[in-house]
Structure 1
């Protein structure tokens, strides 16, 4: 299936290319043959990534994020996770006053934020540089709204998170394979 046809089908499901993103930018990272060899496989991964050339921090899709769970480096790691989760919901300010403390050597970590007028604080289990998925699940619970929720597509130690409604997720699984996405556990 042509890359452009795959993009059209995903856009119909609520996963369009972000404004000003182009097919040429997708092809900068991988050749067309890779996208078209197994339709939707590489493209769903790529939609969760940032463009691999300057200017940085330009995401291919506003409703997807490729989340490498081995991402905790120190202070600010969970703030960055929270910001990405907010970004793909389309509500960049849904979590405000986000702060974290991460000390890998002492195995101490926590996150604080305000959501819906409530201040929340969660202790974080430290396992080397791996994200605490229980805490990520708590952030996700705060952010799911309306009929949309987070779906996950596993990729080894990483995952692509997609923000979809149930109908779009069902249609995506029919299109790309029965086990393409599943609700985020939690």
Structure 2
């Protein structure tokens, strides 16, 4: 798992400026709220920090003025990130993913494990394997869940992840009738994945004025 966090930490350094620019140029205006008000709102919505994480890890990535300039949207993105100084996810409630990040064997395994991580224990994948053959331009991922083996042949597109994989995982939430389903909040070429019930999604939209969609 440590390798997952190292890769994602590097991604924060490389892609955070792009994401922040996206907020400045594309996020619709949302009523102002102080950093502490936003933090309280997220906690009341059920968002929690992982062990040894606190608000200072959020403020290490951006300052209060940044969060207040783009209320809720920047905080949501950061909540889904890696704590730079602790090499671990800030939270298991959501996950920031850049679609242009398939570079090595194991990257699709990391995707499956991160989707499992934010699923509130409702999806449990075992025997997760993948192969990414850059020479022959092929890729696949396989895993077991609920006693059934799945293998998906994926579209190879250099370092871009195959969107269909995420749709297939969402289909499994329907098949196995999980209480939550995956949502996606677009940040351009990257997204924040979340796992919500219909009630949680509507409450989230009401409080934050953000508009995540069902995956």
- Specify the alignment match of 1:16 in structure 2: 48
CA contact (8 A) 1:151 1:164 kept: yes
Summarize the Cα distance change of 1:20–1:110 in structure 2 as closer, same or farther, 3 Å threshold. same
**Aligned residue pairs: how many?**
181
- CA apart distance, 1:90: 2.8
- Deviates most, 63-72 or 10-19: 10-19
**Which of 77, 83, 87 does residue 51 from structure 1 map onto?**
83
Unaligned ranges ≥5, structure 1: none
Please give the alpha-carbon distance, in whole angstroms, between the structure 2 residues aligned to 1:3 and 1:60: 17
Give the alignment partner of residue 168 of structure 1, picking from 177, 200, 209.
200
- Aligned counterpart in structure 1 of residue 188 of structure 2, from 150, 156, 169: 156
Q: Which moved more, 1:12-21 or 1:123-132?
A: 12-21
Q: Deviations over 1:112-143 (max 9, x none)?
A: 10011001111000011111110122123335
Aligned pair 1:139/2:169, yes or no? Answer: yes
Aligned to 1:109: 139
TM-superposed CA distance for 1:111, in Å, is 0.9
Aligned partner (choices 38, 41, 46) of residue 6 of structure 1:
38
- Are 1:39 and 2:71 counterparts? yes
Residue 29 of structure 1: aligned partner: 61
User: Structure 1 52/92 Cα, relative in aligned 2: closer, same or farther at 3 Å?
Assistant: farther
Alpha-carbon contact 2:132-2:140 (below 8 Å) kept: yes
Match of 2:213 in 1: 182
TM-score for the superposition, normalised by structure 2: 0.78
Larger helix proportion, structure 1 or 2? 2
2:122·2:178 contact (CA, 8 Å) conserved in 1?
Answer: no
Q: Which residue of 1 aligns with 2:105?
A: 75
Structure 2: give runs of 5+ residues left out of the alignment. Answer: 1-32
C-alpha distance in structure 2 between counterparts of 1:63 and 1:158, whole Å: 17
Further displaced range: 89-98 or 106-115? 89-98
Distance (Å, rounded) in 2 between the aligned partners of 1:126 and 1:32: 40
Choose the corresponding residue for 1:124, options 131, 150, 154.
154
CA contact (8 A) 1:86 1:143 kept: no
1:128 alignment partner, SS class: coil
Q: Does the residue aligned with 2:135 lie in a helix, a strand or coil? A: coil
